[in-house]
Amino acid sequence: MTLESKKAVARTKYGYFDMAHDEYVVTNPATPVKDYFSYLFNDSYCALISHTGRGTAFVGDDPSMRSILEWWSKLGREARVYGRNVFVTEEIGGKTSVICPLWQPAMEGGFDAWESRIGLGYVKVRAIKHELETEITFFVPTQEPCELWHIRIHDLSGRNRHLKLFCSIDPTLGAKRLACESPSLNFLRYFVSADRPEVEGHKLLGLTIQKKGEWWDGDPDLSSFFFLSGATRFDGSRRRFFGDMCQRVPRAVLGDCTNSEEGGDSICAALQAPLEVPALGETVNLCLLGSLDLKGPNNQLLPRDPAQWRQEILTRFLGKAGLDNAFNEFEATRTKWKELIHGTQVHIETPVPEVDAFFNTWNKYQIYITNRVSRCISDEHEGSGGMGFRDKAQDIDGLIPFNSERAREYLVTMATVGVLRRDGSCVPGWSSVRGPYDYDNERVFRDHSSGWLQRSVSNYIKETGDLDLLFEKVVYSPKHDHVCKDPSWINKASEGATLIEALLRQVTYLWRERLTDPDKHGLIPFRDWNDALDKVGERSESVWISLAYVGSITLMREMIELLIRKGRAEPVIYSKQGARKETKVDPEEIL
């Protein structure tokens, strides 16, 4: 049985959309082929989570910064054993009864009721079995780099219950691609150890996961922590907890955790807490996962002292007022997302409820996800990390109609993060952790199309009328320009350029880069727009990019004409056709 809403649409044998609560409700955990995934995130932390708790998490926007969990997509459905796991056990007649409310990794049915509600900013799994109701809510707070599990267990039998609660995660094993190819290089840098801080006069028990050493691509040191309220035992060894063959019902769950600590290739993080549930009553526990000590070139993710922040977050959610604070934070998370999704005039009503559900709720949520996570890890792809220049410009276009303020922030970031070069070319992308991905030797990946940002800026101005964006100061890439065929025209001393000057420099760069050899057609050469053609070669011509270039200069003309009409036509740095140097010119001269 399930608690179904009267406003249910798009019903299948696996679930339906609950329009009244902005949730997709999965009613059968054994979904075909793939799990149903969602992203729970804020500006510093992202949890990729399925309807059964599977998935990973990372801080920032770089998937090599895997903060908490890891799972292997190459294992297919077997990957269900990796991720967030919860078990509840009870001794009955000398035998251990095991309930796996998330269904995975045990994958055993027999539930009297089961559903997973994928909402805006949370996933809530409810299961009833052996006259015990378990409800687990996963969510990421509005600001902190952590995630919370709110675990409520309610007795339906009318008798006192003596239970054990086990929660486990798979600590990150490094960048997935390299770990799959060469595990021995990645497993060795992690160690899981007991963590016993004092909060409000009481000792807590948790685990610390530490990764040390720069084995791959400058991956910085990283520490994470995992706590369960009321925990009394733990395991850091995968073999000790799951058993030698990593059985679906862990060996420790059939008895007790062994207080093992582990490093290398057999790590997990598991905590055990005793539960006393009164007849027809309930008990609530909290799990807290967090990341700290992240070091990147921009150092933006943890501006506070990591040790102080850790103590504050433990006190806030595992102290005396922890449950109240967790409830308030969950309500704040839901309120934030409702305001972001529905606090806009962009809303449609059609005769087809499925179309309304898609456009008014889930399409908007997906656009927020894409803008935040960009090309990071998913259930289908290992991700390349960070934000792609072309990708981000496209993603911003989708955000402009219903959150122009956030879109402006992203546009300013693109102008100031160092992805634009003085010669008018563009860095392929950037990460808030590592900074711009400015490669020295690979032109194919260094030289992305300079025609994408004009469209995003134009769309933003058409939506808002905000011409001030064009006069935001630009911070160019600190690297030397060595992409342009003829960089002599660039005014190297011109600092403090504005966004409109950078956009003009981009279209000028594309014109100078066109192929003018006798055997060519004068079109724009290779620029990244189709991943399948990345390796064609830089001497190839692109009809599509040339058409897009015409579109870009048309949009630039429209913006300059608008500046003139509005009396905002200030002189700009520009290289007129045939000129060998950039000079200050009036916008009318550009037209």
Strands (E), 103-205: 113-119, 122-129, 132-139, 146-155, 161-169, 190-195, 198-199, 202-203
Q: How far apart are CA 10 and CA 16, in angstroms?
A: 5
Q: Which residues pair with 431 in a beta bridge?
A: 435
Q: What angle do CA 15, 20, 24 make, to 5 degrees?
A: 25
Helix, strand, coil percentages in the chain from 3-state DSSP, rounded to 5:
30, 25, 45
Please state the rounded mean pLDDT for residues 219-240: 87
Helices (H), 146-262: 176-181, 183-187, 238-242
Q: Quick one: average pLDDT of 551-555?
A: 94
Residue 263's φ and ψ, nearest 5 degrees, are -140, 160
Q: Is the pLDDT of residue 2 over 60?
A: no
> What integer pLDDT is reported at residue 100 of this predicted model?
95
Q: In the prediction, which pLDDT does 1 show? A: 40
- Are 392 and 475 in contact, with CB atoms under 8 Å apart? no
DSSP 101: T
Comparing CA positions, the residue from 206, 328, 231 lying closest to residue 285 is 231
Write down the pLDDT at residue 430: 85
Instruction: Work out the pLDDT band at 366, boundaries 50, 70, 90.
Output: very high
Nearest to 228 by CA among 194, 187, 258: 194
CA 547, 548, 549, 551 torsion-angle sign: positive
Label the pairing between strands 198-199 and 202-203.
Answer: antiparallel
Task: Work out the pLDDT band at 591, boundaries 50, 70, 90.
Answer: confident
Sign of CA dihedral 25, 28, 32, 36: positive
Q: Which of 186, 371, 219 has its CA nearest to residue 297?
A: 219
Comparing 572 with 122, which gets the higher pLDDT?
122
pLDDT bin (cut points 50, 70, 90) of residue 539 is low
Output the pLDDT for position 296.
Answer: 46
Q: Is 186 helix (H, G, I), strand (E, B) or coil?
A: helix
Cis upstream peptide for 105 (omega within 30°): yes
In this prediction, residue 362 has a pLDDT band, given cuts at 50, 70 and 90, of: very high
Q: What confidence tier does 78 reach under pLDDT thresholds 50, 70, 90?
A: very low
> How does DSSP classify residue 503?
H
Contact between 575 and 582 (Cβ < 8 Å): yes
When pLDDT is averaged across residues 284-288 and rounded to a whole number, the result is 97
Residue 36 reports pLDDT greater than 70: yes
**What string of DSSP letters covers 539-580?**
T-B-HHHHHHHHHHHHHHHHHHHHHHHTT----EEE--TT-S
- List, for residues 500-532, the tens digit of each pLDDT value: 999 999 998 888 888 888 888 888 876 666 666
Average pLDDT over residues 100-108: 88
Task: Look at the pTM and tell me if it is higher than 0.75.
Answer: yes
Q: pLDDT digits over 290-308, tens only?
A: 887 555 444 455 556 778 8
Question: Cβ contacts of residue 134 below 8 Å, gap of 6+?
Answer: 86, 88, 99, 101, 125, 126, 127, 128, 151, 152, 153, 154
Residue given tokens 């004009």 in the structure block? 454
What pLDDT score was predicted for residue 387? 85
Mean pLDDT, the chain, integer: 83
**376-398 confidence digits (pLDDT tens):** 777 666 666 678 888 899 999 99
Quickly state the pLDDT bin for 179 (edges 50, 70, 90): very low
Q: How far is CA 374 from CA 66, 291, 367, 377, in A?
A: 16, 21, 10, 9
Task: Name every residue whose Cβ is closer than 8 Å to that of residue 8 and which is 6 or more positions away in sequence.
Answer: 16, 17, 18, 19, 25
Asked whether residue 33 carries a pLDDT value surpassing 60, the answer given is yes
Give the model's pLDDT for residue 53. Answer: 92
Neighbours of 1 (CB within 10 A): 10
Residue 218 clears pLDDT 50, i.e. is over it: no
Mean pLDDT of 481-498: 63
Is the pLDDT reported for residue 3 higher than 60? no
* pLDDT band at 186; cut points 50, 70, 90: very low
Structure confidence at residue 438 (pLDDT)? 67
State residue 458 phi and psi, 5-degree precision: -60, -45
Measured in Å, how far apart are the chain's first and last C-alpha atoms? Answer: 68
Q: Which of 165, 225, 223 is nearest to 197 (CA)?
A: 225
Give me the pLDDT at residue 181, please: 42
**What is the C-alpha separation between 431 and 376, in angstroms, rounded?**
10
pLDDT of residue 359: 92
**Measured between alpha carbons, how far is 113 from 28 in angstroms, rounded to an integer?**
10
pLDDT beyond 50 at 234: yes
Q: Indicate whether 101 pLDDT > 90.
A: yes
pLDDT surpassing 80 at residue 546: yes
